[in-house]
């Protein structure tokens, strides 16, 4: 699952849809294809295969916490 910032829509990385681990590693990269593997459950997927999930990137987090 691809992680995207809810504020600026920057892609922050990938997250495993099976176990929720946000620390997958890239096992294959081609010009048009990337494949990831979860270190916790072993699930493998192509980038963008699963739905997006939102979060907040470090830059937007700093902007929002400093503006309060």
Cβ contact 5:55 at 8 Å: yes
pTM (2 d.p.)? 0.62
Closest by CA position to 39, among listed 8, 16, 6: 16
How many domains does the chain fold into? 1
Structural domain boundaries, residue 8:
2-66
pLDDT digits (tens, 9 = 90+) for 2-24: 888 899 988 888 888 899 888 88
With contact defined as beta carbons under 8 Å apart, do 45 and 12 qualify?
no
Question: Are residues 43 and 31 in contact, defined by beta-carbon separation less than 8 angstroms?
Answer: no
Token pair, residue 28, equals 């294959």
Return the CATH number at 15: 2.20.25
Please give the full DSSP string across 9-37, using - where no structure is assigned.
Answer: --EEEE--TTT--S--EEEEE-SS-EEEE
In tens, the pLDDT along 24-50 reads 888 888 777 888 899 999 999 887 676
């Amino acid at each position: 699952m691809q992680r995207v910032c809810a504020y600026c829509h920057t892609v922050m990385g990938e997250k495993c849809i099976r176990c929720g681990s946000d620390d997958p590693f890239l096992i294959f990269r081609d010009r048009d294809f990337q494949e990831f593997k979860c270190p916790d459950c072993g699930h493998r997927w192509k980038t963008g295969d699963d739905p997006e999930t939102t979060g907040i990137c470090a830059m937007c987090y700093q902007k929002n916490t400093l503006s309060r």
